[in-house]
Amino acid sequence: MGEIRDTGIIDALRRQMAIAAARQAVAAGNLANVNTPGYRARAVDFTSALERELGGGISLTQTTSGHQAAETDAAAGTQEIEGLPARRDGNTVQIDRELLEMTSAAGDFARAQTALAAKFRLVRYAINEGR
């Protein structure tokens, strides 16, 4: 039976945090387009996001304001959400659904962050115990 190494745990937690951040960014983009006629709500495609993470992580792009932002929808592994009812203007964004998605993603991020902090506390304790 194989051992679970610290680097594997840290990498898994990093991936979880990156995917949660991508989910929040996509939900925020949907909310920003709630009044855009014809806009179709998008979601992170988990399989694509995981494959991208395993292949090297989320790359960041520089925005015009100087802040870093996640990749564009096509490159970030997002897809249009099928089966959502459209309003008269063709928009499929549902505010309640997007807020729930953002809350869920924030919870996933916080859980991974807490586990990662606990892992680093254990390492710090092991280092300081040798003194």
Domain boundaries, the chain: 6-129
Mean pLDDT of 50-73: 49
Contact assessment for residue 77 and residue 25, using Cβ atoms and an 8 Å cutoff: no
- Kindly write down the DSSP assignment for every residue of 77-99, as one continuous string: TEEEPTTPPP-TTS----HHHHH
Q: What is the pLDDT of residue 68?
A: 40
Round to whole Å and give the CA distance between 44 and 46. Answer: 6
Q: 60 phi and psi, to 5 degrees?
A: -115, 150
Q: Quick one: pLDDT band at residue 77, thresholds 50, 70, 90? A: confident
More confident residue, 51 or 94: 94
pLDDT over 70 at 69, yes or no: no
Q: What is the Cα Rg of the chain in Å? A: 18
Burial class of 14 by CB neighbour count within 10 A (0 to 12, 13 to 18, 19+): middle
Element (H, E) at 32: helix 6-32
Q: Provide the percentage of residues in the chain whose pLDDT is more than 70.
A: 74
At how many degrees (to 10) do helices 95-129 and 6-32 cross? 150
Q: Left (φ > 0), alpha (ψ -120 to 50) or beta: where does 66 sit?
A: left
| pTM of the entire predicted model | 0.73
What integer pLDDT is reported at residue 122 of this predicted model? 87
Which residue has 């919870």 as its token pair? 107
Q: Is the pLDDT of residue 51 over 80?
A: no
Q: Is the pLDDT reported for residue 59 higher than 80?
A: no
More confident residue, 1 or 94: 94
